[in-house]
Chains A and B, each alone.
Chain A
Amino acid sequence: MPVEKITQVSQTKPWLGGLAPRAGEPLLYGLYTHGIAGERFFREIKDNGKFVGTRCPKCNLIYLPPRIYCERCFNGLEEWVEIPNRGIVYTFTAAYVDLDDNRLEKPVIIALIRFDGIHGGLIHKLGEVEPGKVNFGMKVEAVFKEKEKREGNILDIEYFRPI
């Protein structure tokens, strides 16, 4: 006679867990270096408020964020190029919920900013603009945090705003 199934809801049981073996113990977390290219990229933002990319001479592409390799031809990239902090909105969305699924009173406008002659771009939010006013190709510029407050990560850019 085979063992039978659960036939009563009261017999079901969820077993709770997460990234620690027991409640009260420290959780696992991630510590990520920015990498060889990322280190220089964020240093330039932190120290000089500038964007830099790397150029692949073979494919004639300038990568932003910079890479130490070209994803297309796989050559190592060593030529660093300064990139102006003005770009255009390539695509965008208005997020009405946050990471915790809370409904936002005012949506956050998120965009991929691309730059003239540059391969790639930056994902960030747009500021100083109403959701209905954003369009494809809109010219925007980066607003950096004050220099003392910069920590060398993507939040050193506060947002992009229309020019």
Chain B
Amino acid sequence: MRRVAIIGVGYVGFRSISPDLSFKELMFEAAVRAYEDAGVCPRRDIDAFVTCEEDFAEGRSIYNIHTPDNLGAVLKPIHTLPAEGIYGIIDAYMLIRTGLMDTVAVESHSKASNMLTPNYLIAHAMDPINRPLRFNPYFIAGMEMNRYLSESGTTKEQCALVTVKNKANALLNSSAAYADRISIEDVLNSEMMFYPLSRLDISPPADGGIVFVVACEEKAKVLSKKPIWIRGVGWCSDTPNLETREWGEAIYARLAGEMAYRIAGIKDPRKEIDFAEVDDTFSYKELQHLEALKLCRRGEAGFMVESGATQRDGEFPVNVSGGSLGVGRLEEATGLQKVLEVVLQLRGEAGKRQLPNVKVGLAQSWRGLPANSGAVVILSNE
């Protein structure tokens, strides 16, 4: 089967609001940059387009009505995945592997600031039988964190360290909206929201747009000096039901990771992968995901962050970009922000936060509340 590479990236943002651009203009700007970066003309060179958006998050049903114009996809194959951005990369990867397409663009964006009732948005995703309870849906995160801490022995302080680390990492990322130098106490003393989840354990929303150009080997070698190869992909949905799911362990991430490792031929992920951008929608999620992805043993993630191993200069850097806690959570584009960071690092274009000698990176996403699914992609510069 054909090898597939990312040959162009473009992004706009990431800010807490973006009133100067409509969502269409935001998509256009990100796309122009990605096509420029890849050296392609979308009208001539791109065979297919994939966008990742959710209708109610955008406030438009059948959102794909509004997509082709903004990407140069008019009268071309373009489809939407109401899914997380990494699923879009995977769809492009599959399309290219079939031999049907050579070059595919992937887009996702966030206009989270335009959604005025975000709690109700998540409540609207709940199983209707539970809706009459009218709970704030973040209770799910509180219950999950509680169970995870109890099962794994991780502490709230260790979770707080994740927020501290990621916000500090974001200080070196000029695209991050929520960079800050804060202390563990700041996190622990922030208002209790859903015990044991405090306000600073929750990633705040941000706006932004991200576009990738993905290509087959022959095209990638002609068009790009630094193609970033997609070595493995994986995705998985565990049960969506709150009642029957496992609360202590992120099984969807474990299975998605296993699939990606199998495709990439990775036996020992911690050794063979140099750094990772994993979902940190909530501080504890980063730890839970590191364990699920076998980047440490179960119950060890807390110690890993405590020992400094996941710091930028640590042995296994995690969320060097600042993650969602530092950059802001970008709705369906959250995973693409993680892929973006991995691509920039592998290209050696990450500026002040550049990691030395990195060859293989992993990006992982979670679908967000109340879902129980996610995706993984493993990238390499050789």
A and B touch in the complex (CB under 8 A): yes
Partner of A101, one of B119, B128, B192, B195: B119
Is residue A75 within 8 Å, beta carbon to beta carbon, of the partner chain? no
Is residue B63 within 8 Å, beta carbon to beta carbon, of the partner chain? no
Q: In the complex, are the beta carbons of A90 and B147 less than 8 A apart?
A: yes
Is residue B247 within 8 Å, beta carbon to beta carbon, of the partner chain? yes
Q: In the complex, are the beta carbons of B120 and A95 less than 8 A apart?
A: no
Q: In the complex, are the beta carbons of A121 and B59 less than 8 A apart?
A: no
A102 to B139: give the CA distance in the assembly, Å.
14
Is residue B174 within 8 Å, beta carbon to beta carbon, of the partner chain? no
Q: In the complex, are the beta carbons of A63 and B194 less than 8 A apart?
A: no
Within 8 Å CB of A125, what residues of B?
A: 133, 135
Q: In the complex, are the beta carbons of B241 and A120 less than 8 A apart?
A: yes
Within 8 Å CB of B132, what residues of A?
A: 153-155
Chain A interface mostly helix, strand, loop or mixed?
strand
A92 to B143: give the CA distance in the assembly, Å.
5
Within 8 Å CB of A107, what residues of B?
A: 195
Q: In the complex, are the beta carbons of B136 and A97 less than 8 A apart?
A: yes
Q: In the complex, are the beta carbons of A63 and B244 less than 8 A apart?
A: yes
Within 8 Å CB of B150, what residues of A?
A: 91, 136
B178-201, CB < 8 A from A? 191-197
Within 8 Å CB of A123, what residues of B?
A: 130, 133, 242-243
Is residue B51 within 8 Å, beta carbon to beta carbon, of the partner chain? no
Is residue A112 within 8 Å, beta carbon to beta carbon, of the partner chain? yes
Q: In the complex, are the beta carbons of A124 and B133 less than 8 A apart?
A: yes
Residue-wise, chain A 87-123 has the 8 Å CB interface mask toward B (1 for contact) of 0001111111111110100011011100000011111
Q: In the complex, are the beta carbons of B243 and A93 less than 8 A apart?
A: no
Is residue A48 within 8 Å, beta carbon to beta carbon, of the partner chain? no
A111-155, CB < 8 A from B? 111-112, 119-125, 131, 136, 153-155
Chain B interface mostly helix, strand, loop or mixed?
mixed
Q: In the complex, are the beta carbons of A112 and B133 less than 8 A apart?
A: no
Q: In the complex, are the beta carbons of A30 and B128 less than 8 A apart?
A: yes
A13 to B144: give the CA distance in the assembly, Å.
39
Q: In the complex, are the beta carbons of B142 and A112 less than 8 A apart?
A: no
Is residue B123 within 8 Å, beta carbon to beta carbon, of the partner chain? yes
Q: In the complex, are the beta carbons of A112 and B143 less than 8 A apart?
A: yes
Is residue B352 within 8 Å, beta carbon to beta carbon, of the partner chain? no
Q: In the complex, are the beta carbons of A131 and B243 less than 8 A apart?
A: no
Is residue A65 within 8 Å, beta carbon to beta carbon, of the partner chain? yes
Is residue A162 within 8 Å, beta carbon to beta carbon, of the partner chain? no
Q: In the complex, are the beta carbons of B243 and A99 less than 8 A apart?
A: no
A104 to B277: give the CA distance in the assembly, Å.
35
CB closest chain-A residue, reference B197: A93
Within 8 Å CB of B120, what residues of A?
A: 99
A81 to B318: give the CA distance in the assembly, Å.
47
A139 to B142: give the CA distance in the assembly, Å.
20
Closest 8 CB pairs of A and B: A93-B142, A32-B128, A91-B147, A120-B243, A12-B19, A94-B195, A120-B244, A91-B143
A residues contacting B by CB (< 8 A) are: 5-6, 9, 12, 14, 17, 30, 32, 34, 38, 63-65, 71, 90-101, 103, 107-108, 110-112, 119-125, 131, 136, 153-155
Given contacts A65-B129, A99-B135, A155-B132, 17 further A-B contacts (CB under 8 A): A6-B20, A71-B241, A90-B147, A93-B139, A93-B142, A93-B196, A93-B197, A96-B195, A99-B120, A112-B143, A112-B242, A121-B243, A122-B243, A124-B133, A136-B150, A154-B129, A155-B133
B residues contacting A by CB (< 8 A) are: 19-20, 59, 114, 119-120, 123, 128-130, 132-139, 142-147, 150, 191-197, 239, 241-244, 247
14 A-B pairs within 8 Å (CB atoms) are namely: A12-B20, A34-B129, A71-B241, A94-B142, A95-B139, A95-B142, A95-B194, A96-B191, A97-B138, A98-B134, A110-B139, A111-B143, A112-B243, A125-B135
